[in-house]
Copies of this chain bind each other. A is one copy, B any other.
Amino acid sequence: MEMKTVKIGLMGFGNIGVGTYKTLEMNRAVIAANTGIDFEIVKILEKDVDRKRDVVVPREKFTQNPDDLFLDPQIDIVIELLGGIQPATDFMQKAMNNGKHVVTANKAAVAANYDELRKTAADNQVLFRYEASVAGGIPILSALTGPLLGNDFVEVLGILNGTTNYILSQMADAGLAYEDVLKTAQEKGFAEADPTADVEGIDVANKLSILISLIFGERVAPKDIPTEGISKITKEDIEKASAEGNKIKLIGKAKKENGTLTYSVKPTMIPFSHPLAGVNNEFNAVFVKGNAVDELMFYGKGAGPLPTGSAIMGDVIEIGKAMAKNAAYDQVVAGGRK
């Protein structure tokens, strides 16, 4: 088999960017052996070249000018890891307008501009993939848009945020108050300095919006999902739940009944016997119910540099395989049902 080469531009070199770089370095030979494709990150958009990172990157790969990625004819795929809605959305669209396939982990941008990003991809006949935007390393979007396409879906629910699941797990296990666990989580790097997006459920609403699009083919903007976070959960709430045989989990849920779709993000009682009750700390899990496959649960690390790097590289490899086949743009491969 003749070895093909696919060249990548990376936008953003924080934790996830470094995790993606490390995942590829670590497994480049294995990936090449399994796919016949040699993937290489050739340019990195990042201002802070000198920050201490546990990976060695040749200095000449760094640039501060996004056009160095958009206009470089050797770059096939742009990975967007800047976070936030803008300029990430603009940058992804510019990359597509210049014929680049795009992979992102950016749930906020995908949830806010789902239709626009997919339309730009379609207009430019490029692929747009975002597996890492929901549930980190868990390959849930690929499953929904691939091997589960033979189903009509009834329900999706999940633990989709590692920070809040860590806080709730620690409150339950150690009998601690919310504020104390949050403080420790921030010290350990499990929670951000401003934890609002996580603890108020906004991050979960973004991810649920993306899941709803893929599973039910309907667009519900994150701001239209009734959302309640965990910042008002007390030690006493958790003790009471436990005494009644339940765990409190922050659950994103969408359900279709008699043609009507309902959805919410809120702290929810989960009986000890339910598979989601055993999902603790930084782990995520997504539970789906299809009319043929019945109940399925996917469990794994919902965040972290390498698990997220695994999801990003999975998307990159899918695009590389499609390129190797000279495949035309395909709506389903691009990640949507409909």
Contact = CB atoms under 8 A, between A and B. Distances in A.
Nearest to A312: B150
Given A1-B331, A307-B293, A333-B321, A151 B27 contact: yes
For the complex formed by this chain, how many copies does it contain in all?
2
A337 interface: yes
A131 B300 CA distance: 21
Contacts of A327: 325, 327
Interface stretch (A81-89, A139-147, A164-172, A238-246): A139-147
Interface in A193-209: none
Given A26-B152, A299-B297, A292 B310 contact: yes
A311 to B, nearest CB: 7
A214 to B, nearest CB: 10
A316 interface: yes
- The binding surface of chain A is classed by DSSP as mixed
Given A27-B152, A147-B142, A148-B139, A338 B34 contact: yes
A318 B147 contact: yes
A332 B32 CA distance: 11
A8 interface: no
Interface residues of A, number: 64
B321 A330 contact: yes
A106 interface: no
Interface of A: 1, 23-24, 26-27, 30-31, 33-36, 131, 137-139, 142-143, 146-152, 217, 273, 275, 278, 290-301, 304, 306-307, 309-318, 321, 324-325, 327-328, 330-333, 337-338
Given A34-B149, A294-B304, 9 more contacts: A23-B292, A27-B151, A34-B338, A35-B149, A36-B331, A139-B296, A150-B310, A290-B310, A293-B307
